[in-house]
C-alpha cells in the first residue's frame, strides 16, 4: 500500500501569542517575514506561527509576546477535499497514542501539523506507516 506523501520543510518554527490590540502590528510583521507563516485571530488572541529566525529578528517589537520555539511542520502533500471525514482525527489519534502533542494547521488546499522537534522523526515514521491514512485520503 502507498504511504501518504509528506512535505517536511527543515525550518524550525516558533508559535507566538499576541494580544488582540497588536493585530495591525502582527499583519505588518507577517508582511515582512520570509517563508512559512500562519496567523489566526479569534476572540481572545492572535497566534502566529513563523520561522524561528524571523521571529528572533522581529520579536523586539513585541516584548509582551509569549512564544514557544522548536516546532517542525509536517504537511500532507495531497489535496484533501472538504468532504473527507476523519483524516486529521486519525492523525491526532496516532500522535496521542505515541504521546506526541501536536498543533493542527490547515489551509485551503491541505492540512498539516506542528510537532516539537524532538518528536519530529517519530511523528513522520508513524504517519508514513499508517495505512488507514491512505484509505481516508482516498489513495488506495
Which DSSP symbol is given to 75? E
Retrieve residue 93's grid coordinates: 489519534
Residue-wise pLDDT for 51-65, tens only, equals 999 999 999 999 999
| 134 pLDDT above the threshold of 70 | no
Q: Quick check: helix, strand or coil at residue 4?
A: coil
Predicted pLDDT of residue 79 = 75
Torsion of CA 86, 104, 35, 69, to 10 degrees: -150
Q: Does 1 or 96 have the greater pLDDT score? A: 96
Taking residues 133-139, report their average pLDDT: 58
**Nearby residues of 103 by Cβ (< 8 Å), 6 or more positions away:** 15, 49, 71, 113, 114
| 138 pLDDT above the threshold of 70 | no
Amino acid at each position: 500500500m502507498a504511504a501518504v506523501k509528506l512535505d517536511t520543510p527543515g525550518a524550525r518554527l516558533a508559535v507566538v501569542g499576541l494580544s488582540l490590540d497588536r493585530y495591525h502590528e502582527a499583519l505588518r510583521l507577517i508582511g515582512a517575514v520570509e517563508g512559512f507563516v500562519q496567523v489566526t485571530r479569534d476572540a481572545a488572541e492572535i497566534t502566529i506561527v513563523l520561522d524561528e529566525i524571523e521571529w528572533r529578528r522581529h520579536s523586539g517589537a513585541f516584548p509582551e509576546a509569549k512564544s514557544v520555539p522548536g516546532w517542525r511542520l509536517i504537511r500532507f502533500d495531497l489535496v484533501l477535499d472538504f468532504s473527507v471525514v476523519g483524516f486529521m482525527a486519525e492523525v491526532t489519534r496516532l500522535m496521542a497514542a505515541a504521546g506526541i502533542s501536536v498543533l493542527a494547521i490547515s489551509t485551503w488546499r491541505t492540512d498539516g501539523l506542528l510537532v516539537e522537534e524532538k518528536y519530529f522523526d517519530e511523528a513522520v515514521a508513524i504517519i508514513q506507516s499508517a495505512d488507514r491514512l491512505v484509505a481516508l485520503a482516498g489513495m488506495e
